[in-house]
Structure 1
């Protein structure tokens, strides 16, 4: 068996519309569609990066609001070309930061964490130059 790609990452959210707005306006994703689960309770929204549908984010409303922000999925990382520009943009937009500065790893990769609308950890990640 060979895994071909990461299909999607599911994030439980309290307000689907608020989260769709965040992921489209702040992250820059495209909203691919919304549906009600077959159980009639859970609502799902699917989003993808503007230039790709390789990996999707699935927002899940109505599943379990009592789970902690740092749960089974610790964070989602987004690859960016200029982490400093993203840090400035996210800061200027007033998005709450988890990190007050950009961290540089020993290999030269750089990143920072910030919070989504439900307190989920999100990361902007710039890979090391090759």
Structure 2
């Protein structure tokens, strides 16, 4: 067995439609497809210039004891070419950042964190 790539990352969201709008307008994702299984509403979105990079958004339709029943994802990191330009774009879209300036990763790359519409932790890393 050999893992080739990450197929997608799934996030539990509070409201699927609002989350789709956030990922499209703020982070440049494009909707691939949606589905309703009766117990969950699902959406798959991809990065416009990299259709192989995909996330799945899940809105639970039934009562569950916790949306974290299947585990918790700490954050999703997105690679960007120019972190200062991306920060400027996020600020213009009124997205609050968790720090005023980028920090450095352990590998010495510029990084900054912010939260998505559901409180999910998101990270930008200048590649």
- TM-score bracket relative to the smaller structure: 0.7 to 0.9
CA contact (8 A) 1:12 1:59 kept: yes
Residue correspondences, number: 123
TM-score, normalised to structure 1, is 0.86
Q: Distance in 1 between matches of 2:76 and 2:93?
A: 19
TM-score, normalised to structure 2, is 0.88
Gaps of 5+ in 1: none
RMSD (Å) for aligned C-alpha atoms: 1.8
Alignment-derived partner of residue 48 in structure 1: 46
Off by >4 Å, runs of 4+ in structure 1:
63-68
Which structure shows the bigger proportion of residues in strand conformation?
2
Gaps of 5+ in 2: none
Q: What's the secondary structure of 2:113's corresponding residue?
A: strand
Alignment-derived partner of residue 58 in structure 2: 60
Q: Distance in 2 between matches of 1:90 and 1:34?
A: 26
CA contact (8 A) 1:12 1:65 kept: no
